[in-house]
């Protein structure tokens, strides 16, 4: 029984150590290349809006890291960042990606708005009050 408990304890320490090692790795940050965005307005109550993003990553080592949203005067700017392990060796062969990002429209009154994802813009219109019970998370990490 003691051997089993010791084995479980060692396994737990090894797993925790793996997470610490992951956090200590050096990464190169970047911004995703966005080719196209499509805005989807879901009119059921509460109203919600998401943006489908299509783009290219430079290689298989580069991953989508985070979608950060910032409200601007009449819209929302989204920055879609990437990360790549420093020193990773990958063939520089672009690969496509697609992500759907729920937009934080909490509290926006009816009106016409823009959304920009890494500089690619579109518009959407809210016809009714967009108040929702809980605001969406503005920053998503994958």
How do the pLDDT tens digits run along the chain, 142 residues long? 555 444 444 444 444 444 545 555 799 999 999 999 999 999 888 899 999 999 999 999 999 999 999 999 899 999 999 999 998 899 999 999 999 999 999 999 999 999 999 999 999 999 886 654 444 455 556 5
Q: Which residues pair with 102 in a beta bridge?
A: 50
pTM: predicted TM-score of the whole model, two decimal places: 0.73
Residue 77, domain extent = 2-141
Largest CA distance in the chain: 67
What is the count of structural domains for the chain? 1
Give the span between the Cα atoms of 51 and 100, in whole angstroms: 6
The reply to whether omega before 8 is within 30° of 0 (cis) is: no
């Amino acid at each position: 029984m003691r051997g089993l408990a010791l084995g479980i304890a060692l396994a737990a320490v090894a797993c925790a150590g793996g997470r610490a090692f992951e956090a200590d790795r050096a990464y190169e940050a970047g911004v995703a290349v966005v080719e196209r965005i499509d805005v989807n307005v879901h009119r059921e109550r509460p109203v919600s809006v998401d943006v489908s993003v299509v783009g290219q990553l430079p290689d298989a080592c580069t991953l989508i890291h985070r979608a950060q949203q910032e409200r601007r005067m009449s819209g929302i700017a989204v920055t879609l960042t990437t990360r790549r392990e420093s020193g990773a060796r990958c063939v520089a062969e672009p690969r496509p990606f697609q992500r759907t990002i729920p937009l934080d429209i909490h509290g926006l009154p009816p009106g016409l708005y823009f959304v920009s994802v890494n500089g690619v813009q579109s518009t959407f219109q809210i016809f009714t009050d967009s108040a929702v019970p809980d605001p969406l998370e503005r920053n998503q990490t994958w």
